A = this chain, B = another copy of it.
Amino acid sequence: MSRITETSPLLAALARKPHERTPVWFMRQAGRYLPGYQAVRAKTEFLTLCKTPELAAEVTVEPLETFGVDAVIIFSDILVPLEAMGLEVVFGDRGPSMGDPLRTRADIDRLRIPDPVAETGFVMDVIRAVQDRVAGRVPVIGFAGAPWTLACYALEGSPSRTFAAAKQMLYRAPGDLHALMEKIADTVTAYLRAQVEAGAQVLQLFDSWGGMLAHEAFHEFSLAYCRRILEGLDGCGVPRILFIKGAGTHLESIAKLVRETGTECVAIDDGIPPARARQVLGGHCAIQGNLPPEALFAPVEDLRRRTRELLEAFRGEPGHVFNLGHGITPPTPIPHVRAVVEEVQAWRAGSASE
């Protein structure tokens, strides 16, 4: 894998080293909008797909083969570690959810901190199978959900608009919530370290629901546990990308965390203006983002213009990684994704009309 570390635009950008062009990949790039994925899913249940390394690897590399993106991210589900902790994960019409959400402190105390290789070894097998297929062309990204987001799943059962159960526990029994989150944080840290040992060359931590928290609770329950994991990954040898969705209000606090932990990159959602991200984060870490996923539905010429404008907004920032503000949504038109990749890969910081 030494070859890729020398030539990858993504790895260069994450290290904020000079490189020829801006790298591009997309959150949730392996998914329902792609025909190969649909064909696999037509004959395979979601959780079976996650646990069958050859199929998960096939789905993982489809965006590389289709668009030539600058990274692949392993196909998996953020609930995998929760299942290994002892929770039941089921897959219904509205996506994965918990069969039996946590209700009591005793439920929390029963959870285990699993050995990632022994109990989620199929994810490590996916990474190895992906590496075989990618053959050094681009880096392989591993990932996990952050503790607050996973705690929401564990307590709510399924994605919620209000997160009432999780937020009520936060105020009614904060000690119980801390007990849960400590277990999740230790599980996720070991899980991500195992991904690196299996061959992941970049890690992304997703706190999809961190922005739902009140400001004090955000620090105590989202940021503190992201910090615990990022510190636990220190010295793991690969760059770490932190994505806390909806937390633009707290960007200064995120910048402080990044400086103190040496985190290599922050992914920003589409609510954050690039100029503000550069002002607060620039110089401290790389910045990933932040085209709105729904912009992929714009007419292609308008989409190409928006893509160029975003590249311009990060001109001169060696750490820009082009991505979306959050994940691709299912009916996204494939030619539109291809147009964005073309625009990003054709753009050169040095050759613009200034």
Contact = CB atoms under 8 A, between A and B. Distances in A.
A297 B172 contact: yes
A292 B211 contact: no
Contacts of A250: 271
Interface in A277-325: 290, 292, 294-299, 302, 325
Interface string A228-259: 00000000000000000010111100000000
A164 interface: yes
A170 B271 contact: no
B171 A297 contact: yes
A215 interface: yes
A66 interface: no
A162 B329 contact: yes
B297 A213 contact: no
B292 A217 contact: yes
Contact of A168 (B216, B273, B294): B294
A211 B246 contact: yes
Contact of A294 (B161, B167, B299, B325): B167
Contact of A249 (B168, B214, B272): B272
A214 B168 contact: no
Contacts of A302: 171
B329 A270 contact: no
A281 to B, nearest CB: 14
A33 interface: no
B292 A167 contact: yes
10 contacts: A167-B292, A171-B294, A172-B299, A214-B271, A214-B294, A214-B295, A215-B273, A216-B273, A246-B271, A249-B249
Given A159-B161, A211-B271, 5 more contacts: A164-B294, A168-B294, A171-B292, A249-B273, A249-B276
Q: Which 4 A-B pairs have the closest CB atoms?
A: A248-B249, A214-B270, A167-B294, A214-B292
